[in-house]
Amino acid sequence: MRTPLGRLVPALLISQTGYFVAVITPVQLLLTLRLTAIAGDGATGAFGVVAGFGALVALVANPVAGRISDRTGLRFGRRRTWILLGAVAGAATLALLSVTTAVWQVVLLWGVAQILLTFQAAATSAMVADQVPGPRRGGVSGLVGTTIAAGPLIGLGMVNEIPAGSPAQWIAVAVVTAFAGAIAVLLLRDVPGDGTAEPWNLSGLVRTFWIDPRRYPAFGWACLVRFLVTCAYAGNTYYSFYLLQHFGVPEESLGDLVLRLTLLSVVLIALASTVAGYLSDRLGRQLPFVVFSGLTAAAGMTLLAFAPSLTWVFVAAGLLGSGTGVFVAIDLAMCVRLLPSSADAGRDMAIANIANALPQSIVPFLAPPLLAVGGYPGLFTFLGVLGLLGVAAVTRVPEVCRETTTEEMRLCTAPPTPAK
């Protein structure tokens, strides 16, 4: 029982938009404001701990969430169940963050929220592998990629209409997140898991977190590319602190400035993602687009590192938005194409998603020593170099329908396993 594309695509867009409202709006603004109120001058270090811990627990939860989704036998559906529960429970946790009074409370609740929202994200990503036909994945992935821009834009635009630091900012984000999850599941068709998933035991638990790159080298290289290029783009989580500390932007003006930067990024991400996804399907090529996104990440981060004025910050944000749009469109389609198993699509996509989550943990932990040694130029230059390494790694990924192993050829030529 496959969802018609006319309903599937809106459902994916709504679910992913709600997810990004929930996870990016706090990272870009709300956590900065909350921790500044709680920790004062120690807010930068506290932010690194909060963001790093949250990303770390999301990293661990991602494959577990995907595997649980694969195995869920409820009639409501193996993916729909977790899209709804993850969104609603995650939203409730976000609302609780509005009343935190200590850094440890923020760390704890942000970690719980990340775990719950990861269930929604893992199930949504698996829907692409489950129900989108191979020849349409580039275009659909391109549309889904726009949500990484639309989510923050909606979130920041909404909270900026509320007094800075007010609990109502968190509650507004929570309401949008829960509502998006509910609407998405109303549009989706889904089925229970078929019961063929690997049983829960010690070896199975280990494999929940691991796919042997020697057996599936193309998938391994695709995950490495995703990790390196995502690291390069992870520097945008420091926009708020960068503007406050490097340019002396007043706190009362910060939200409006971050919103304008986000609006610029949104327009370019949406345009680049949609066009890149369409062109990728038409040309039957993916790798040139990933190379472009890695080079653009490096250029944008380098420009940001040495921006002499806010004008150049906006130019750098434009480059990063264009590159992000191309990357999120093609990267998702590339990872879905190279999944080792259609039966374990939820778990396998979740392992690929670790490469997205890990930079959000590593970069905040690396940022304080990099900032201490080289300031923001040192941090952003380092991240730009990682983007170039991603360009080098993508040369080891096979192009569309040029896979080298029997299993990779099957994945290239066979349609996705239909939902029953």
- The answer to the question of residue 143 being in a domain is yes
Cα Rg of the chain, angstroms: 20
∠ CA 129-130-135, rounded to 5°: 60
Residues 390-394, mean pLDDT to the nearest whole number: 90
The pLDDT value recorded for residue 241 is 81
Q: Which of 379, 371, 246, 396 is nearest to 307 (CA)?
A: 246
- The answer to the question of residue 208 being in a domain is yes
CA distance between the termini of the chain: 5
Domain count, the chain: 1
pLDDT band at 93 (very low <50, low <70, confident <90, very high): very high
- The answer to the question of residue 420 being in a domain is no
- 75, 192 in Cβ contact below 8 A? yes
With the CA atoms of 263, 316, 297 and 411 taken in that order, what torsion angle do they form, in degrees rounded to the nearest 10? 20
Under DSSP, the state recorded for 237 is: G
Residues 58-78, mean pLDDT to the nearest whole number: 81
Residues 352-369, mean pLDDT to the nearest whole number: 78
Q: What is the pLDDT of residues 19-46, one digit of tens each?
A: 999 998 998 889 988 998 898 878 888 8
CATH of the domain at 146: 1.20.1250.20
- The answer to the question of residue 384 being in a domain is yes
- The answer to the question of residue 229 being in a domain is yes
Q: What is the pLDDT of residues 172-220, one digit of tens each?
A: 999 999 999 999 999 988 877 665 555 555 555 555 566 677 788 888 8
Distance CA 407, CA 221 (A): 16
- The answer to the question of residue 307 being in a domain is yes
Q: On the CB side of 383, how many CA atoms lie within 13 Å of its CA?
A: 36
- pLDDT surpassing 70 at residue 10: yes
> Which residues span the domain enclosing 407?
5-413
The pLDDT value recorded for residue 102 is 92
- The answer to the question of residue 419 being in a domain is no
- The answer to the question of residue 355 being in a domain is yes
